[in-house]
Structure 1
Amino acid sequence: MAITDRQTATLALAHALSAAEHGLPVIPLSATKLPALRSPHRGDDRPVGCRGACGLPGHGVHDATTNPAAVRALFAAAPWATGYGIACGRAPHHLIGIDLDIDASGRNDSAAALQQLALHHLFTIPPTVTVITPSGGRHIWLTGPPGVPVPNSASRLAPGIDIRGAGGYLVGPGSVTTGGTYRLAPGAADLSPAPCPRALLRLLTPPARPHHPSPRPHHGRGLVQFVLAAHEGQRNTRLFWAACRAYEHGFGDALADALTRAAIQTGLTEHEARATIASAARLTSGRPAGPEGSPDRSP
């Protein structure tokens, strides 16, 4: 490992220990923003639903801890880690991450969309910890009440606004990734995560919808048509969005084959399509999800 790599890894551990000291459960991340430790069950023939009960590291966000000794052990097992993830939805802060993306043209329309939501639903975002991403986007940190799990979502609240809640994680400030370094916004260093406004919390925790064993015909057809209309460069994004909507409405599994066929017609391979749909299923089920609302491609 080069000197620069060692320095990056040392700084990542230092930042992670500082976050843990403030009650934020952390895990080591690779430069791709994914958990640095691979699953100990990756060679198993059958899918394993273990969330760390086996006692081995490599279970993504389920490894997150505030114990300094455990944090050091995780980073010692992943000396290539260049950053750290902060588990959302966990005590004592029950962190909620509002991820405001930058679009392909460099505009931050998601920030304007959040302002419109705030005006319409009569809430304001209080001064709180804000992290600037390498692309120029922002992660707004808020806290939620105990016993109110906030689900992860991608562009459900508004286009370009992703939510990191229970089962998700945020890339911590000071982390170095292939895209650059995550850093605190000016003035955020002295702030603590502020409570989520009640009106916003209601938007983030919609009432449970009844389970539908099969897709509503008009709704399912609309999602398939949405995927079929994708152009090169947006095929995977459209498929992921459509699959998330299908799983949120309770008929994701029933619509998966139709979405796969539509994605193949746009140019994706069946393997790519199935992987993207599986990522949408994980994201909407509350299982560990990748950062910033992206499909979870575990290493």
Structure 2
Amino acid sequence: MAITDRHATTLALAHALSAAERGLAVIPLSRTKLPALRSPHHAGAPHARAHDAPAPGAGAPRPAPPCHGECGRLGHGVYDASTDPRRIRELFAAAPWATGYGIACGLPPHHLIGVDLDTKSDVDASAALRELALRHLFTIPETVVVTTPSGGRHIWLAGPPDTVVPNSAGRLAPGIDIRGAGGYLVGPGSRTEHGVYSTVPGTAHLPPAPCPPALLRLLTPPPRAPHATPPPHTGTAAQQGHGLVQFVLAAHEGQRNTRLFWAACRAYENGLGDTLTPHLTAAALRIGLTPREAHATITSAARLTGHA
């Protein structure tokens, strides 16, 4: 291993131990941001469990239940995450190529929720979050914010212990991914192929702030209800549909995806989704979105409202 890699591993371990002191469970990550330790149950892996192979004379084997570390070996991704310094050193000793660490979400005491604002597309995720905050009357409190090598941001929030926040990509709004139970965030100080993750000055020592209740409701949509026959489209419904289309047409650059997403959500919530989709798509094309972008945004709205 190169000296620089050894140095990066040493730094990653130091940062991981520091995070663990704050009650954050961690795992080692490779330069690709993936868990550094390979699953011991991967096809062809040595010492595979006995029930991974069919018994002599047996027919087709039943699929083995997923192992979340019950076998006692390392390599179960986020299920290896720990706050125990001895365990963390053991994980890093088994992965001397690790140059970063992941912080498991959804675990006590913080029940961490990560709001990942992406910058890999033409979507302004920060603007999308601000518009959601205005629409749903919440504010993001002062909390830990981590910058990514690509210019994105991870906002750390604490969730309630009795609520499971699922992972999602683009469901809340285009460009906004959520890291919840079973997911992890790349920890500050980690070095990846594209650079280093760092905390925004002044936020490093803040505790994860409680997630605003209005935002939490958006992150935990109710179970999908059986489809019901939509009511007849009265004049009021037609007027509402026209208003949503006009709302999209009035979008300025930087608002196009968020306005389309919001309008599509309202359309589906009011039983107008299928009827208005072609009109909202046409409006999106008029303001400069591509057919692919319009379709992706409307599909995200359908998923969020339980209609996809």
TM (norm. structure 2) is 0.68
- Give the counterpart of 1:58 among 57, 64, 75: 75
The 1:114/1:64 distance shift into structure 2, 3 A limit, reads same
Partner of 2:236: none
**1:151 aligned partner:** 166
- In the other structure, the counterpart of 1:110 is 125
Cα distance per residue 1:67-123 (max 9 Å; x no partner): 000000000000000000000000000000000000335xx6100000001011111
Q: 1:176 maps to which residue?
A: 191
Residues 128-163 of structure 1: CA distance to partner in whole angstroms, max 9, x if unpaired? 000000000000000001010101000000000000
Count residues with an aligned counterpart.
Answer: 229
What SS class does the counterpart of residue 150 from structure 1 fall into? coil
Does the 8 A contact of 1:211 with 1:249 survive in 2? no
CA distance in 2, matches of 1:25, 1:138: 20
1:127 partnered with 2:142: yes
Q: 1:203 aligns with which of 201, 218, 230?
A: 218
Aligned partners of 1:125, 1:142: CA distance in 2, in Å?
A: 9
Q: Whole-Å Cα distance in 1 between the matches of residues 100 and 156 of structure 2? A: 18
CA distance in 2, matches of 1:120, 1:250: 21
In structure 2, C-alpha distance between the alignment counterparts of 1:28 and 1:188, rounded to whole Å: 23
Aligned residues of 1:211 and 1:250 also touching (Cα < 8 A): no
1:13 matched residue in structure 2: 13
Q: Which amino acid aligns with 1:67?
A: D
User: Partners of 1:81 and 1:14 in 2: how far apart?
Assistant: 12
Cα RMSD for the two superposed structures:
2.8
Q: Note if 1:26 corresponds to 2:26.
A: yes
Whole-Å separation in 2 of the counterparts to 1:184 and 1:6: 23
Which residues of structure 2 form unaligned runs of 5+? 44-51, 54-62, 228-272, 282-290
2:124 pairs with 1:97: no
What do the CA deviations read for 1:173-232 (whole angstroms, capped 9, x no partner)?
A: 0000001100001211231110000110111111111479xxxxx98xx9xxx9xxxxxx
Equivalent residues of 1:41, 1:48 under 8 A apart:
no
* Greater Rg by CA: 2
What CA distance in whole angstroms lies between the structure 2 residues aligned with 1:103 and 1:131?
16
With normalisation by structure 1, the TM-score equals 0.70
Give the direction of change, closer, same or farther, for the CA distance of 1:250–1:32 in structure 2 (3 Å limit).
farther
Determine which of 84, 89, 93 is the counterpart of 1:67: 84
Distance 2:120 2:88 in 1: 35
Q: Which letter maps to 1:188?
A: T
CA distance in 2, matches of 1:47, 1:64: 23
